[in-house]
Structures are given as C-alpha cells and as structure tokens.
C-alpha cells in the first residue's frame, strides 16, 4: 500500500502517465528520493527512475500498481561485461524494481560485435520477463549515426526488449524528434520508445509523444505538468 496521498485534480488525458520521474544525479540523497516518490505519487507519473541503491526505499514508498519503480543498469557508459549487467538486473528486480533501464554495450556495438550485443540484451529481456519486469534499452543516440540507430533498433527487436530508449542524459545531447521518428520507423509496434535527456518543457514533450514516444524520462516532470495544467 502507498503511504502517500494521491492527487485527483489532473486532466483526464494528462501527460503525467507518460513521465518517468527521474533522479539519477550522483549527489542524490535520501531526502531527494523521498521527495521524488511523493511527487510521483501525487501526480501519478508512470514511474520513478532512481539509482540502484535507492530501489528498496522507493519500493517501500510507492504502490507499484499506480507508480512503477525503475532503475538503471550498466549506467551510464554501458561497457560492463554481460554477466555483471545480468547480476545487477537480477538484484534490482529482486529488491523491488519492476522496470530496468539498461545501457547497451556501445563499445561492443561500435566494434561490430552485434551478436554479442544482441545476446546480452536477449538475456536481460528473458530475465526481466521471467520476473514480470520491463526492459528498456538505452542506445545513446547522440553517439550513433542514423544507420547505427537503425541497426541498434534491429538488435533490440531480435532481443525482444520492451522499450528502446534514446539517452542516458550524460552524453553530448539528449532526445531529438528526428531520433524518435527514425526509431519508430524501424521498430515493430510491439516495442515502445522512451525519449530522455534534455526534456524540460511541455511543448517538447508533446512533440516527442506525437512523433512516437511512449514514455518521457525527465527530471522536470512537475514543471511540464504545471504548464499542461495552465493550458487546460
């Protein structure tokens, strides 16, 4: 059961349901995580995305029937070995996470080791699905050409992941409309898209959703939502 109060004054089709309310700063402390969870519960965001060390705390504060607990794996560079990522994900799912945002091994991908990348993602997807979890794969579009984005989408499709996600927020740029449009054109309808990185206002979030994004990862969720409420 949630220990937090829930708001009932949101628009029926609120953008809140698209937002992963995110706090991944290295200096995030426990008070910030508690505040994040209270905000997510109040505004009924889709999920909170927290560092692995705060999974238990977030899971204890939130009713995951309403707000999911997501965490990051192989973050933010992605070049951990596959067995380390698998252990990270298994541990995260065992202590309360229900959604895993895992960074693709971009170094291996850039080296043309596509089968190794696909195998890693497939193992993570199998684990998440066995644990009734969701796997979102971060491909870091800022580091990829259009052709590489298409190839990454193909590998994610073969691995049967749940979402392909644009960015960690730690690279040279975050999501763009062009990224989302290209990804949507090269993914089956069964695989959803998460846009993240640099999404700070309602207008841009709406454009990303219109382009094909199913989730928005942002630390500016309340600012975005307040702008929405002002419009309506």
Tens digit of each residue's pLDDT (9 = 90 or more) over 10-27: 555 689 999 999 999 999
Say what the pLDDT of residue 6 is: 37
Of residues 101, 136, 162, 179, which has the active-site annotation?
Answer: 101
Q: Is 223 labeled as catalytic in the residue annotation?
A: no
Q: How far is Cα 152 from Cα 119, in angstroms, rounded to an integer? A: 13
Domains of the chain, residue spans: 15-231
Of residues 136, 162, 165, 179, which has the active-site annotation?
Answer: 165
Per residue in 99-114, pLDDT (tens digit) is: 999 999 999 999 999 9
Per residue in 132-165, pLDDT (tens digit) is: 999 999 999 999 999 999 999 999 999 999 999 9
> The pTM is what?
0.93
The CATH number of 15-231 is which of 3.20.20.70, 3.40.50.300, 1.10.1060.10, 3.30.2320.80? 3.20.20.70
Q: Is 226 labeled as catalytic in the residue annotation?
A: no
DSSP line for 126-153: HHHHHTT-EEEEE--GGG--HHHHHHHH
Q: How far is Cα 177 from Cα 8, in angstroms, rounded to an integer? A: 31
pLDDT at 186 over 60: yes
Beta bridge partners of 20: 47, 217
- Which pLDDT band holds residue 8 (cuts at 50, 70, 90)? very low
Q: How far is Cα 10 from Cα 31, in angstroms, rounded to an integer? A: 25
- Which pLDDT band holds residue 232 (cuts at 50, 70, 90)? low
Contact 129, 166 (CB under 8 A): no
C-alpha to C-alpha distances, 82 to 89, 110, 119, 124, 144, nearest whole angstrom = 11, 16, 9, 9, 21
Q: How far is Cα 44 from Cα 21, in angstroms, rounded to an integer? A: 10
Q: Is 194 labeled as catalytic in the residue annotation?
A: yes
pLDDT at 181 over 70: yes
Say what the pLDDT of residue 13 is: 65
SS3 (DSSP) at 103? strand
pLDDT at 231 over 80: no
């Amino acid at each position: 059961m949630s220990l937090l109060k829930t708001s009932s004054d949101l628009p029926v089709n609120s953008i809140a349901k698209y937002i992963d309310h995110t706090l991944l700063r290295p200096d995030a402390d426990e008070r910030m995580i508690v505040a994040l969870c209270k905000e997510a519960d109040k505004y009924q965001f889709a999920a909170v995305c927290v560092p692995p060390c705060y999974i238990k705390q977030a899971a204890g504060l939130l009713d995951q029937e309403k707000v999911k607990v997501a965490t990051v794996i192989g973050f933010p560079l992605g070049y951990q070995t596959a067995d380390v990522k698998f252990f990270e994900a298994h541990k995260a799912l065992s202590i309360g996470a229900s959604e895993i945002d895992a960074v693709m091994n971009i170094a291996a991908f850039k080296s043309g080791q596509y089968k190794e990348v696909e195998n890693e993602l497939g193992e993570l997807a199998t684990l998440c699905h066995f644990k009734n979890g969701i796997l979102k794969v971060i491909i870091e579009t800022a580091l990829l050409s259009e052709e590489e984005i298409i190839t990454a989408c193909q590998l994610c499709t073969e691995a049967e992941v749940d979402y392909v996600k644009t960015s960690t927020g730690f690279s040279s740029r975050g999501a763009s409309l062009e990224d989302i449009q290209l990804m949507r054109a090269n993914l089956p309808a069964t695989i959803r898209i998460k846009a993240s990185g640099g999404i700070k206002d309602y207008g841009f979030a709406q454009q990303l959703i219109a382009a094909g994004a199913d989730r928005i990862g942002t630390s500016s969720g309340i600012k975005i939502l307040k702008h929405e409420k002002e419009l309506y």
